[in-house]
Chain A
Amino acid sequence: MKRLQKTLVLVLLALLSATLAFATGGGEKPAKITFASWNGKGEDKQFLDAFMKQNPSITVENEVIDGNNWDRLIKVRLLSGDPPDAFFLFATQLPKFAKEGYLLDISAEYAGKAVASIPTLKQISSGADGKIYALPMSVRGGPLPVYYNKKLFAKLGITTLPATWSDFYKLCDKIKAAGIDPLVFGLKDPWTMEYFFRNRSFTGLLDKYPDWQFALYNGDVKASVLLRQEFVLARQMLDKGYFSKDNLTLTYPQSLPYFVEGKAAMLACGPWIPTVDEVKASDPSKFELGAFITPIDPVNGKKLAFAEVPYFTSAAKAGKNIAAAKKLLNFFATPDTQIAFNGFWGTVNLFDLQYKVDPVLQSYYDSLKSWTMLPLAKAVLPSAFIYDAMWKGFQNIVSGSPVDTELATLDDQFAKLRDTAVQTQ
């Protein structure tokens, strides 16, 4: 009898344990992953929170890495075997990291996404082996928006926005005559100027070299030829006083209050400016943001611009939780997230997605439709050429270095770095 009682108790206990295990272990095991980006003001939080709400068993830790040294820092992390699980990736980094086996193959996940229907995007998201290693976050192209203070323009009696480059110069002359800097560039972060001039599409040279990166890589054109007109214009605008040489010591973040506070009338930058804190916190009686497209004149009647993916999302092959990282990538690739992401950043996305453009950028976006976008697909130039050599070229022009000297330096630098470029087709 006692033995029977003991047996019954044991069976009951076993049943109870099994029930508990079923109740608690039926769901997924909790997972923790890191997501790295350069957005240091918590801009990614809303998206990561939305992901975690959909996936309660996954915790995503947002890691911020300095954007100016992104390439260097991510390289070290990947090499050391301690990478973030998922992270943003520049187009210049994708082929080389894919080649070295640092990135997760997400070909299967990519197949079901809206972006897969755009062949060029699929191509530039791939490594040399044809597998997909990253998801594009947006596609951008064309001349940059030029932001201006509507209140200041009204005060200066400026009622018409420039439609041609010559109109733009006349506008700058009028602003300068009023004792205000027409433009500001945070030149200590030289991407601000390089970005503006590179998106002028090399003043019509795209007709001859539609994939300018491949043309450079293949030796069809020299860097000095591509950038000549842009360097000349940069020097011309400096000599005319359209921006100050003092901009050399202003960082990009410092240029924002410089613009918002009315020390400069215009700021040429990417499509995220309506979302920056300085604009949101500005005094509406003194500042109202407006934007127009950089008025680049057509060449031979054509308006050609290159389209590029500014950055991707990717996952590390050596990450600690591959399944969770893939889920995060899938989340970023859904149309809803893409719409929310690009809407938040005010990004003018050339994906075929219906999302709300910031009202400030609506006219800019409408103007972009008249531009033909050419994809960059066949080669990827080294980060050091685009992000260092070209940047420094513009900085040095403003410092007073002769245009020809900087163009020659650019050619030398490209010759030095060419062996680190990657042909993708």
Chain B
Amino acid sequence: MRLINRRKRFSFSWLSVVPALVLFTTFTYLPLVFTLTYSFTDWNGYSRKFNLVGIANFINLFKDGEVMLAFFNTLYLAVFCFLIALVMQMLLAVILFEGVKGKSVALAIIYLPCVLSQMIVSMTWLNILQGGGILNALLRSFGMAGMAKDWLGDPAIVKNVIVFLNTWQWTGYGMVIIMAGLSAIPSEVNESATLEGAHGFGKFFRITLPLIMPSLTVISFIGITGSLKMFDLPFILTNGGPVNASLTMSMVIYNYAFSYEKFGMSSSIGLVFFALIALLTIAQLGLTRRLEVEE
């Protein structure tokens, strides 16, 4: 009887999971298999025929100046977005967790950008940052015309502007996760640490930080993968310009597939980039997991 029940439960479990598995396989793994296939071809994205080209696409992508430039741009954006956001998230989480006046309002304001669609965020900031936009108009009206800049048209600063906007949008997200981690630390641990004489930065780095490492593992994973895959913000704000200064790997993949009509090459770039992201995140998970401690 017990065996029959177990078998029934087992079958039911599988039945419950199969639809989701089918959807996941169809829309995630199957496209990956197709991408792998196309990466060895010269398919243009609309023809019914294509030829096999071996590993030519993989070799050529490393010789392509546009791909390499996009790679370094993406790395720059990812590193600074991640680091600056992480510092901001921890700072804000600790400050708000300690309890300040207007904490709920502050939380809501900081978290609000996360729930806005990327399109709306990009279009809004485009109006603010363009040469004749709100920001420059305000600066000029307050007698600070010297500070008015070509925020989106200057290759020297456009990446930093994107870092700022990305950080602004996602700081609330990580902050909330860290606050959850902070609230999970038992109060006895903090009390014991205080009794032992730990306080300030010492207490934070030796006690608090290791205990919230699981939260940081999650934030790091999401932050690194998210900023490496960045597409919407630079696409709408600058379309990769000026002079390809804000061109990202996702945009290059898109350009090769849909503008240059080189779907095969686009697939190979996508696969190599996927492998890179996978390696980075495995390394990151390994590092942060090692730093986690049990209470």
Cβ-based interface call for B132 (8 A): yes
Query: How far apart are the CA atoms of A400 and B245 in the complex, in Å?
Result: 12
Q: Are A100 and B46 in contact (CB under 8 A)?
A: yes
A127-135, A245-253, A327-335: which lies at the interface: A245-253
Q: When the two chains form the complex, which single residue of B45, B131, B155, B262 contacts A246, counting CB atoms closer than 8 Å?
A: B131
B4-12, B89-97, B208-216, B253-261: which lies at the interface: B253-261
Cβ contacts under 8 Å, B65 to chain A: 412
**B 243-266 contacts with A by CB, 8 A:** 243-244, 255, 258-262
Q: Mark B54-72, 1 if CB is under 8 A from A, else 0.
A: 0000000000010000000
Cβ-based interface call for B113 (8 A): no
Number of interface residues of A (CB under 8 A): 33
A384 touching B261 in the complex, CB below 8 Å, given contacts A75-B46, A249-B129, A250-B132: yes
Query: How far apart are the CA atoms of A255 and B46 in the complex, in Å?
Result: 35
In the complex, how many angstroms separate the beta carbon of A204 from the nearest chain B beta carbon?
29
Q: Are A401 and B242 in contact (CB under 8 A)?
A: yes
Cβ contacts under 8 Å, B258 to chain A: 71-72, 75
Cβ-based interface call for B101 (8 A): no
In the complex, how many angstroms separate the beta carbon of B69 from the nearest chain A beta carbon?
11
Interface centre among A71, A78, A188, A249 (most CB of B within 10 A): A249
Cβ-based interface call for A399 (8 A): yes
A417 touching B260 in the complex, CB below 8 Å, given contacts A249-B126, A249-B152, A399-B241: yes
Cβ-based interface call for B130 (8 A): yes
**A 32-86 contacts with B by CB, 8 A:** 71-72, 75, 78-79
Q: Are B150 and A245 in contact (CB under 8 A)?
A: yes
Q: Are B44 and A245 in contact (CB under 8 A)?
A: no
Q: Are B45 and A248 in contact (CB under 8 A)?
A: no
Q: Are A384 and B260 in contact (CB under 8 A)?
A: yes
A16-24, A220-228, A362-370, A388-396: which lies at the interface: A388-396
In the complex, how many angstroms separate the beta carbon of A92 from the nearest chain B beta carbon?
11
Q: When the two chains form the complex, which single residue of A75, A102, A244, A401 contacts B45, counting CB atoms closer than 8 Å?
A: A75
**A399's closest neighbor in chain B, by CB?**
B242
Q: Are A401 and B47 in contact (CB under 8 A)?
A: no
Cβ-based interface call for B48 (8 A): yes
Cβ-based interface call for B133 (8 A): yes
Q: Are A248 and B46 in contact (CB under 8 A)?
A: no
Cβ contacts under 8 Å, B262 to chain A: 420
Q: Are B260 and A78 in contact (CB under 8 A)?
A: no
Query: How far apart are the CA atoms of A64 and B5 in the complex, in Å?
Result: 57
Q: When the two chains form the complex, which single residue of A101, A247, A396, A420 contacts B261, counting CB atoms closer than 8 Å?
A: A420
Cβ-based interface call for B181 (8 A): no
A246 touching B132 in the complex, CB below 8 Å, given contacts A399-B242, A401-B242: yes
**B131's closest neighbor in chain A, by CB?**
A246
Cβ contacts under 8 Å, B259 to chain A: 71-72, 383-384, 388
Q: When the two chains form the complex, which single residue of A100, A250, A400 contacts B243, counting CB atoms closer than 8 Å?
A: A400
Number of interface residues of B (CB under 8 A): 28
Query: How far apart are the CA atoms of A245 and B155 in the complex, in Å?
Result: 13
Q: Are B241 and A396 in contact (CB under 8 A)?
A: yes
Q: Are B241 and A96 in contact (CB under 8 A)?
A: no
Interface centre among A101, A102, A401, A412 (most CB of B within 10 A): A401
Query: How far apart are the CA atoms of A196 and B260 in the complex, in Å?
Result: 24
Cβ-based interface call for A416 (8 A): yes
A416 touching B242 in the complex, CB below 8 Å, given contacts A245-B153, A249-B129, A399-B155: no
In the complex, how many angstroms separate the beta carbon of B26 from the nearest chain A beta carbon?
16
Q: Are A395 and B130 in contact (CB under 8 A)?
A: no
Cβ contacts under 8 Å, B239 to chain A: 188
Query: How far apart are the CA atoms of A249 and B65 in the complex, in Å?
Result: 26
Query: How far apart are the CA atoms of A78 and B45 in the complex, in Å?
Result: 11
Q: When the two chains form the complex, which single residue of B48, B152, B261 contacts A248, counting CB atoms closer than 8 Å?
A: B152
Q: Mark A87-105, 1 if CB is under 8 A from B, else 0.
A: 0000000001100111000
Cβ contacts under 8 Å, A271 to chain B: none
Query: How far apart are the CA atoms of A188 and B235 in the complex, in Å?
Result: 12
Cβ contacts under 8 Å, A72 to chain B: 258-259
Q: Mark A380-417, 1 if CB is under 8 A from B, else 0.
A: 00111000100010011011110000000000100011
Interface centre among B45, B155, B241 (most CB of A within 10 A): B241
Q: Are B153 and A401 in contact (CB under 8 A)?
A: no
**B 150-166 contacts with A by CB, 8 A:** 150, 152-155
Q: Are B243 and A420 in contact (CB under 8 A)?
A: no
Query: How far apart are the CA atoms of A398 and B131 in the complex, in Å?
Result: 13
Cβ contacts under 8 Å, B48 to chain A: 100-101
Q: Are A244 and B46 in contact (CB under 8 A)?
A: no
Cβ contacts under 8 Å, B152 to chain A: 248-249
Q: Are A420 and B130 in contact (CB under 8 A)?
A: no
Query: How far apart are the CA atoms of A392 and B132 in the complex, in Å?
Result: 21
Cβ contacts under 8 Å, A398 to chain B: 153
In the complex, how many angstroms separate the beta carbon of B241 from the nearest chain A beta carbon?
6
Q: Are A96 and B126 in contact (CB under 8 A)?
A: no
**B240's closest neighbor in chain A, by CB?**
A392
Q: Are B243 and A401 in contact (CB under 8 A)?
A: yes
Cβ contacts under 8 Å, B155 to chain A: 399-401
Cβ contacts under 8 Å, A384 to chain B: 255, 259-261
List 7 A-B pairs, minimum CB-CB distance, nearest first: A246-B131, A249-B130, A399-B242, A72-B258, A248-B153, A384-B259, A75-B46
Beyond known contacts A247-B131, A249-B130, A388-B259: 5 more, CB 8 A cutoff: A246-B130, A248-B241, A249-B126, A249-B131, A249-B153
Residues of B within 8 A of A (CB): 44-48, 65, 126, 129-133, 150, 152-155, 239, 241-244, 255, 258-262
List 18 interface pairs A-B (beta carbons < 8 Å), by A numbering.
A71-B258, A79-B45, A100-B48, A102-B46, A245-B150, A246-B132, A248-B130, A249-B129, A250-B130, A250-B131, A250-B132, A384-B259, A396-B242, A396-B244, A399-B241, A399-B243, A401-B155, A417-B261
